[in-house]
Amino acid sequence: DGYRLSNDFDKNNGHTGLGTEFNEDGNKRDLSNYIKRTLHAKVGFEPDKDTRLYLSFDYHNNERGVPTEYSRYWAFSEWDQWHLNLAGEKKINDVLTVKARAFYIEHEDTLKDISWDASHTSDRKWFETSSYDDYSVGGMVNAFFDFGQWSFLKLGTNYTKDNHKQQDYIDDDCWGVIKGWDSPGYTPEEEYEAETYTVAFENEINPTDWISFVFGFSYDYFKPKKAYDQPVPDDVDTFNPQAGVVFDLTTDTSLHASIGKKTRFPKLVELYSDHAGGNPDLDPQEAIAYELGFSHDFSEIFTASVAYFYNDIDDLIERVRDPVSGDKIYVNVSEATIQGVEVAVDMNFSKSLQAHANYTYMSTEDESNDDRELEGRPRHRINLDVRYRFPFALSASVQASYTQRQYFEDSNYNWKKLPDYFLLNARLAQDMSKICGIDSELFIQGTNLTDLDYYESNGPEPGFNFLAGFTVRYQ
């Protein structure tokens, strides 16, 4: 049925209530309903100790609503995806090991405009139904050469082809027909396709017991093939070097530093999807990433680490609000920086009781927009995870998180601060394997235990919700 909002939700609030782009009246959030069906199967073959071959299959069916945003009332009446994966590993000799993988992914969905009354109708109805038919096919081969402490060499190559087809059905009350751009009926099927090639090299050298060096590079090539009725973008290639060093100052203390260039090519949905805000003029996102870190084992119980990171980004791919249509579109932010500090602590009090905590401080700047902060990146985030296992196979866990200072652009193009929030979740799980004779688990979990009323840039978030279930695994 979907998730319920907090009992403290005010339907008259000016951020997410009635009359806003979310038009929410409380209780269950509109169009948060979903049905998930998943099937996973895996078979392996190991003819000898040096050879492994695995074939896996995953199927996902996820008919669901799309919680109201931008005054749109959409739901997936169909959402199916299956994934076939063949992976193998062969140890040729003491020096050379080869790993390979081939995959095929197919995805189909149908998105429907389900406006149901005068107060729940899309401001601009773009379609009656919109259907996607996608597939990805590819593979990779990696070779590992172990020459001892002086060289652990990795060579790899990767290929992926992504194909996307989309077609809409529009009727008389759709925006394109009203404006005279389109005629009622099915629109022409649009097809888009791109290929990505990668060749990579990495070498690790350990001249002594206390120092190791890692250096390498990747050469990536992005080749758009089809763009429906638009000009096919030019091919793009990029060279991405990287280097790092690790100092083991003592048996309990290590220091690491790294620098590397990273490139992300735009996805097909970011380039061409009309309804997601595709932009065919997107450039690849490039970043120079720096990191300096330190870790120390204080005892068998207590370990800690701290790391400083700095990312200098050109053409950051972001989704922002279009000043003309009010919809979100993908754009390149010409220059941006993301830097901060991460601190992590692990505590293993006993075999039964463990705890993990981490804190991230992150400072961001959109240098092309008066150095304002990037949207949706919190300045402070703290997480705590505590787990305990009872002797009778009952596991209990509690997760707490605190998020502070993040900004977004509202529907009136105002730059606003999102509310800070603290969330508390818990889970109980009883292992039923001995009772049922198969790998199984009975569980109950609760999220947002304090029923906090809060929202993110995509609207009001769930209040207190709980889920109980029984899981069975066959192997």
> Per residue in 89-124, pLDDT tens?
999 999 999 999 999 999 999 999 998 887 888 878
Strand, helix or coil for residue 178? helix
| Cβ(79)–Cβ(63) below 8 Å | yes
What topology is assigned to 34-473 in CATH? Maltoporin; Chain A (2.40.170)
- Residue 363 pLDDT greater than 70, yes or no: yes
- Please give the pLDDT value at position 117: 84
What is the Cα 143 distance to its own chain's centre? Answer: 28
- Residue 181 pLDDT greater than 70, yes or no: yes
- Please give the pLDDT value at position 212: 96
pLDDT tens digits for range 65-89: 999 988 899 999 999 999 999 999 9
pLDDT tens digits for range 347-360: 999 999 999 999 99
Type and span of the H or E element at 43 = strand 34-48
What is the C-alpha separation between 125 and 127, in angstroms, rounded? Answer: 6
Tokens 């901060």 sit on residue: 340
pLDDT tens digits for range 387-405: 999 999 999 999 999 999 9
- Residue 46 pLDDT greater than 70, yes or no: yes
| Cβ(350)–Cβ(324) below 8 Å | no
What is the C-alpha separation between 350 and 26, in angstroms, rounded? Answer: 44
Whole-number mean pLDDT of the chain? 94
Q: What are phi and psi of 210, to 5 degrees?
A: -110, 0
In sequence order, which ranges of 283-349 are alpha helices (DSSP H)?
Answer: none
**pLDDT average, residue stretch 193-222:** 96
What is the C-alpha separation between 142 and 158, in angstroms, rounded? Answer: 9
- Please give the pLDDT value at position 131: 96
At a CB cut-off of 8 Å and minimum separation 6, what does 309 contact? 289, 290, 291, 338, 339, 340, 341, 342
- Please give the pLDDT value at position 475: 65
Split at pLDDT 50, 70, 90, the class of 322 is confident
Residue (of 71, 68, 127, 139) closest to 99 by Cα position: 139
- Please give the pLDDT value at position 439: 84
Q: What is the pTM of this model?
A: 0.90
- Residue 306 pLDDT greater than 90, yes or no: yes
Instruction: Give whole-number Cα distances, 390 to 242, 317, 435, in Å.
Output: 46, 47, 16
